[in-house]
Amino acid sequence: MTSTEIVLLVVAIVVVLLIAAAVLAAARKKKRTQELRGTFGDEYDRTVETSDKRRDAERELGQRKQEHEKLDIRPLSSASRQRYLTAWDGVQSRFVDNPVLALSEADALLTQLLDERGFPTGDSRESERMLSVEHGRVLEGFRAGHAIEQANTSNQADTEQVRQGMLHFRQVFEELVSEDSGEPHPRDDRDLSDDTRHDGSRDDATSVRDQDRLR
């Protein structure tokens, strides 16, 4: 074999190796993207849309998974689950008379539940990031509920917004309180009255109707 043939053979081998490496890298990237989509669902698309590059978004989502793996996420004991269910029923009942206070109480109860389950609660943004790993289905509800609660705290939320905030929080609460319990939370379909004024007052007819509804 001449020196020229040897050089050509080496070049061919290098080219083949480079192509193989590129194919392997592309396959790994595709697999990683599929895994992240499978884990985060709609949150994957949202993160990509709000990032400059897909690579940056996938790095952020991968980091969330790593941080989530370090958390000590715990299921509730039967006693704790019942305690939270009872507390939530109380909050929802108080919504009838004082929706503003009830929404704040719902927010506080949900924060307590997150903490007991092992999620970070010091910052809502960090809570969102960790919830997104396994609870993407209720993530938008969590965000929307907190946004409404912030407006509620500064007296900038109307009655319908407060009602929607309660519904968002209820969705998150039901998922977190039921997980790993073996018993789904029996859905409470009582109305969150549209007739409740933002200051918590109601007319007599509404009061009677609400009392009948809660029996």
Q: Are residues 203 and 104 in the same domain?
A: yes
Report in angstroms the alpha-carbon separations of 184 from 17, 92, 152, 166. Answer: 54, 18, 30, 19
Q: Are residues 54 and 108 in the same domain?
A: no
Q: Are residues 35 and 90 in the same domain?
A: no
Model confidence, pTM: 0.72
Using CA atoms, how far apart are residues 104 and 207, in angstroms rounded to an integer? 22
Predicted pLDDT at 22: 86
Cβ–Cβ < 8 Å for 152, 162: yes
Indicate the number of domains in the chain. Answer: 2
Task: Mark which of 70, 89, 114 sits at the end of a domain.
Answer: 70
Q: Are residues 93 and 47 in the same domain?
A: no
Q: What is the mean pLDDT of each run of 10 residues along the chain (215 residues)?
A: 81 87 82 86 92 93 95 94 96 93 96 96 92 93 95 90 96 88 47 47 39 36
Q: Are residues 96 and 53 in the same domain?
A: no
Residue-range definition of the domain harbouring residue 99? 78-214
Predicted pLDDT at 183: 46
How open is the CA angle 43-45-47, to the nearest 5 degrees?
Answer: 65
Report the residue count for the chain.
215
Predicted pLDDT at 61: 95
Q: Are residues 64 and 84 in the same domain?
A: no
- Supply the angle between the helices 99-117 and 139-153 in degrees, to the nearest 10: 130
Task: Mark which of 46, 70, 94 sits at the end of a domain.
Answer: 70
